[in-house]
Amino acid sequence: MENGKKILEKLKNEISQNEYNRYIKNLEFDESSSRSDILIYNAPNILSAKWIQTKYAKKIAHLYEVDSGINAEVIIQVKNAKTKSKAPMKKSIKKDSSSTLLNPSFTFESFVTGNSNELAFNVSLAVAKNPSTQYNPLFIYGGVGLGKTHLMQAVGNYRLNEGDKVIYNTFEQFMNRYIAHIRSNTMDRFRDFYRNCDILLIDDIQFISRKEQTQDEFFHTFNELHSLGKQIVITSDRPPKKIAGLVDRLKSRFEWGMLVSINPPELETKIAIIKKKALLDGIRLDDDVVNFLASNLGNNIREIEGTIIKLNAMSHLLRKPITLEFAKDAVSDYLQDKKENITIDDIIEIVSEELNIKPSDIKSKKRAKKIVEARRIAIYLARNLTPNSMPQIAVYFGMKDHSAISHTMKKIEEILESDENFKVLIEEISNKVETFKTK
């Protein structure tokens, strides 16, 4: 996690010297408050904190993800805020888990259940108690921030406590290790490493798409462990059959065991999670604030946690209690920041680069098939990634009224439902747009 510091060095290479000196140089990584998936930095004052959050937080998160394979929330707070936002570490884990990269606070006890995640929870617990029996492999899938890594690591922490040798890797880490060993001609060591564990946890396997050689190696690792009766747990943001470019033999292996999904939390579960987080972090939140947060923040629980930490930091800084008013102000700023950042022009620029269509054509009324497609994608992203209303977007693209926009949205959603490759394309472009803006 000292990574948090290292990332600022990397950021240095991506922005101008001037920007670096002005904003990033005085940014301090708050190691004691951070954890592997929430990075907290201290800025010298509230203005620069806000600015850095808006301009650079995403970029930092992106660099961190490239480096560690972990998709983290980045929070910029103010230096002198005497916060107690320290993430709740330890618990009853006896062994030192740092060597396996497990987060010791990801346990079954700290996981809140509801309809959305109950099945995944129960199956994971069964695997932790009796590995390599009924459910092997266990494949957990669901959207970002819904608790996949938490559950997977809860299994890992449980097994670690039982004395098992646990390997936790993101798929990215597995792949990087594989590539490094190929380069140094030490594949026997690579194989020894993976084959000597009792339980293998591979997080975010969706990145396996189209990486043929690594798929091959993973296939062998999988078979070997499985035939030795070792437990394997895998997570992904989608079910195996929707991972584009996943070879059939792996697809069928993944379906051998137990496939279980985690769904977005229902309101009650969100409320329970917020209460639990606040309690663990020693933050006082009244019920009206909890209800407000649960109904106004999205389903990504990592983001919800980030908001609670931020709220707490601001409350200390401004020396104000977290009332409903206070929360509303803080959260609307936060939500605004996240969206206002991106403009329709940015989107057109990226779509134009990705699909090789001129920006002027995207904005024109030309009817050529490729141009129409690019225009529809741009409209779809403009609606989802910017705060513009449908009438505003209509004006921008020179369309008669908002009904044309709403028609386009429906059209794209239809295609997204049925065409997996199109979905991957849209996700890739939208990721580009979101990281582009922080450059």
Binding site for ligand ADP (CB under 6 A): 37, 106, 110-112, 117, 144-150, 273, 301-302, 305
Query: Using omega within 30 degrees of 0 as the cis cutoff, is the peptide bond preceding 137 cis?
Result: yes
CB of 61 to ligand ADP, least distance (A): 13
Strand order of the β-sheet with 138-142 is 166-170, 199-203, 231-236, 138-142, 258-262
CB of 145 to Mg ion, least distance (A): 8
Distance CA 406, CA 378 (A): 13
Cβ proximity to ligand ADP, 167 vs 273, nearer residue: 273
**SS3 track for 252-314:** HHHHHCEEEEECCCCHHHHHHHHHHHHHHCCCCCCHHHHHHHHHHCCCCHHHHHHHHHHHHHH
Pick what 334 binds: ligand ADP, Mg ion, none; C-beta below 5 to 8 Å, kind-dependent: none
CB of 173 to ligand ADP, least distance (A): 14
Cβ proximity to ligand ADP, 55 vs 302, nearer residue: 302
Residues 6 or more apart whose CB falls under 8 angstroms from that of 313 comprise: 75, 77, 78, 81, 83, 85
Pick what 145 binds: Mg ion, ligand ADP, none; C-beta below 5 to 8 Å, kind-dependent: ligand ADP
CB of 368 to Mg ion, least distance (A): 41
Let me know: does 156 contact 149? Beta carbons within 8 Å: no
How far is CA 375 from each of CA 156, 181, 349, 372, 426, rounded to the nearest angstrom? 46, 44, 12, 5, 13
Pick what 73 binds: Mg ion, ligand ADP, none; C-beta below 5 to 8 Å, kind-dependent: none
Pick what 437 binds: Mg ion, ligand ADP, none; C-beta below 5 to 8 Å, kind-dependent: none
Distance CA 347, CA 393 (A): 12
Backbone angles phi, psi at 311, to 5 degrees: -60, -45
> By three-state DSSP, how is residue 94 classified?
coil
Residue list 131-150, contact with Mg ion (CB under 5 A): 148-149
CB of 150 to Mg ion, least distance (A): 8
CB of 34 to ligand ADP, least distance (A): 12
Cβ proximity to Mg ion, 55 vs 62, nearer residue: 62
CB of 354 to ligand ADP, least distance (A): 25
Distance CA 384, CA 416 (A): 14
Residue list 147-186, contact with Mg ion (CB under 5 A): 148-149
Cβ proximity to ligand ADP, 34 vs 149, nearer residue: 149
CB of 140 to ligand ADP, least distance (A): 8
CA 402 from chain centre, in angstroms, equals 32
Q: Does 117 bind Mg ion (CB under 5 A)?
A: no
> By three-state DSSP, how is residue 384 classified?
helix
Cβ proximity to ligand ADP, 111 vs 139, nearer residue: 111
Nearest position to Mg ion, beta carbon: 149
Q: Does 68 bind Mg ion (CB under 5 A)?
A: no
The kind and range of the H/E element at 223 are helix 212-227
Cβ proximity to Mg ion, 48 vs 269, nearer residue: 269
- What percent of the residues of the chain are helix, what percent strand, and what percent coil, each to the nearest 5? 60, 10, 30
CB of 108 to ligand ADP, least distance (A): 10
> By three-state DSSP, how is residue 349 classified?
helix
Cβ proximity to ligand ADP, 261 vs 392, nearer residue: 261
Pick what 357 binds: Mg ion, ligand ADP, none; C-beta below 5 to 8 Å, kind-dependent: none
- Counting residues that bind Mg ion (by CB under 5 A) gives 2
How far is CA 152 from each of CA 348, 436, 437, rounded to the nearest angstrom? 39, 31, 32
Let me know: does 67 contact 10? Beta carbons within 8 Å: yes
Cβ proximity to ligand ADP, 147 vs 240, nearer residue: 147
Pick what 144 binds: Mg ion, ligand ADP, none; C-beta below 5 to 8 Å, kind-dependent: ligand ADP
Q: Does 341 bind Mg ion (CB under 5 A)?
A: no
Cβ proximity to Mg ion, 75 vs 146, nearer residue: 146
| Beta bridge partner(s), residue 270 | none
Contact footprint for Mg ion (CB under 5 A) = 148-149
